[in-house]
C-alpha cells in the first residue's frame, strides 16, 4: 500500500512540474511577443528593460503563475510599453496587445504538430507517454492563456485591442480606470467564474487545431476532460 502512495506522490509531483514548466514557457513567449512587436513599431522600452528575452524569470508574476497552475488562467509581469513612441499610438498598442495571444496560438500549433509526429512515429514507451502528456499541458495552457487574454476586460490584452476603436477621450479614461478593474479580474478568476466558459472555448479551439495538425484530440479529452 505504501508503494502505491509513494508512486502516486511521485506522479503528482511530476504533473505539477510539467504544468509549471509549461506555464513558464507559455507566459515567456506571450510577453516576449508583446515586447518584440512594440520594439518593431519603434518602442525600445521593453528592450531597454531587458524584457526581450527567453529567460522566464524576467517575465514571472508569481500570482499570475499560481493562477495558471490552480485554475489554468493567469498572466505574466506586463512588458513595459510607451505608446508615445508609436506613430499611431492606439493602433500600436492594439497590435502590441494582439501579439501575445497570437503567439500562444502559434505555440499551440507548433506543439500539436510535434506531438502528432511523435504520436505517429515515436517509440511506444513510458517516456514517450510523459512527453506527450507534457505537450498536452503546453497546448492547453497556451491556448487558455491566449483565449483568456482576448477577453475585452482591462487589464487583459483584449481590452487594449478594443480600446483602439474608442474616441481619444474614452480611450484615456479607460486606461486610467484599468488599475481599479485589475483587482476585480483577479478575484473573478480565483473564484473560477471564467473557468466554465473558458474551458468550453479551449476545448473547441483545441478540437479545431487538432483536426488541422492531426494530433489525437482523444488524448486531450482523456487527460483534461474536454
Q: Which residues are catalytic?
A: 31
Contact 169, 90 (CB under 8 A): no
Contact 173, 167 (CB under 8 A): no
Contact 108, 142 (CB under 8 A): yes
Burial of 122 (0-12, 13-18, 19+ CB in 10 A): middle
Contact 59, 28 (CB under 8 A): yes
Please give the grid coordinates belonging to residue 48. 531597454
Please give the grid coordinates belonging to residue 13. 509531483
Please give the grid coordinates belonging to residue 112. 500539436
**In 10 A of CB 63, how many CB atoms?**
13
Stated as kind and residue range, the H or E segment containing 110 is helix 89-121
**In 10 A of CB 215, how many CB atoms?**
28
Instruction: Report the alpha-carbon distance of residue 149 to residue 156 in Å, rounded.
Output: 5
Amino acid at each position: 500500500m505504501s508503494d502505491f502512495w509513494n508512486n502516486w506522490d511521485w506522479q503528482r509531483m511530476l504533473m505539477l512540474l510539467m504544468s509549471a514548466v509549461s506555464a513558464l514557457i507559455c507566459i515567456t513567449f506571450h510577453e516576449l511577443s508583446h515586447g518584440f512587436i512594440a520594439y518593431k513599431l519603434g518602442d525600445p522600452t521593453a528592450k531597454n528593460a531587458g524584457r526581450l528575452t527567453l529567460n522566464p524569470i524576467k517575465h514571472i508574476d508569481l500570482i499570475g503563475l499560481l493562477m495558471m497552475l490552480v485554475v489554468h488562467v493567469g498572466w505574466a509581469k506586463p512588458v513595459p510599453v510607451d505608446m508615445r513612441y508609436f506613430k499611431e499610438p492606439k493602433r500600436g498598442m492594439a497590435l502590441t496587445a494582439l501579439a501575445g495571444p497570437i503567439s500562444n496560438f502559434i505555440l499551440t500549433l507548433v506543439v500539436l504538430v510535434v506531438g502528432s509526429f511523435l504520436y505517429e512515429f515515436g517509440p511506444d514507451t513510458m517516456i514517450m507517454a510523459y512527453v506527450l502528456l507534457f505537450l498536452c499541458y503546453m497546448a492547453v495552457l497556451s491556448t487558455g492563456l491566449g483565449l483568456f487574454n482576448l477577453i475585452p476586460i482591462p487589464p487583459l490584452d483584449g481590452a487594449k485591442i478594443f480600446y483602439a476603436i474608442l474616441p481619444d477621450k474614452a480611450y484615456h479614461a479607460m486606461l486610467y480606470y484599468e488599475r481599479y478593474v485589475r483587482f476585480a479580474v483577479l478575484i473573478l478568476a480565483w473564484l473560477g467564474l471564467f473557468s466554465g466558459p473558458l474551458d468550453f472555448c479551449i476545448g473547441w479551439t483545441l478540437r479545431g487545431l487538432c483536426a488541422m495538425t492531426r494530433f489525437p484530440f482523444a488524448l486531450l479529452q482523456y487527460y483534461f476532460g474536454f
